[in-house]
Copies of this chain bind each other. A is one copy, B any other.
Amino acid sequence: MTAQHALLECLPAGLRAEAEQHAQRIHLSAGDVVFRAGDGCRGLPMVISGSVRVQMLGASGHGIVLYRMGPDDLCTLSIGCLMAGRGYRAEAHVEEPTEALLMPRQAFDRLMAQSAEFRQQIMASYGRRLDDLMLLVEEIAFGRLDQRLLEWLKAHANGRPALITHQELAVELGTAREVVSRLLKDFERHGRVRLARGRVELLQSQEVD
């Protein structure tokens, strides 16, 4: 049996079969762009496995990462686009090979109509996304960049060096590449990280805090 999305697991058998029948299974490779700003929305993407990064492009050409979607997440942004019939404001990049279901509008509407459990999950997902964005607003508005950078490195260092360029880190934090370069250089001078081209290694002593 094929891996499935948690959101469908809690549906009664009949509805679930119907949902699976109408959903289109899609496979995405790292680097693929799922949608860009302005694109129309063709259904609700539900991530089964993998990782997709959602980011925005500012007028100045700079970008900022808004959030990520992982297994059993769904693309909350798409629901808004579906309902309002307007295009996306952000863009989604596949980071790891990803499997997803694309649920067409009509099937989504039917599920919303017929399953309280489904409705509950959709609303909860929306709530989490709002929370994510509110926390992001707080960080950007009031957080110090050196702290945010260190925290990013801690969160993404699973004992291994992060394979990422300064430019990409800048987009993660919504700042400029030069700023990241300078901060990292400072960290290095203080023995907090080890740097190489396309690689940032948080030193052991820094991982606990």
Contacts and interface: CB of A to CB of B under 8 A. Distances in A.
A89 interface: yes
Given A137-B64, A137-B140, A174-B141, A128 B80 contact: yes
Contact of A137 (B113, B123, B131, B133): B133
A134 B81 contact: no
A2 interface: no
Interface residues of A, number: 42
Interface of A is mostly: helix
A109 B113 contact: no
Contacts of A64: 137-138, 141-142
A126 to B, nearest CB: 5
16 contacts: A64-B142, A76-B130, A79-B123, A80-B127, A82-B123, A83-B124, A84-B124, A84-B128, A89-B135, A109-B116, A112-B112, A119-B119, A126-B130, A130-B133, A133-B134, A137-B174
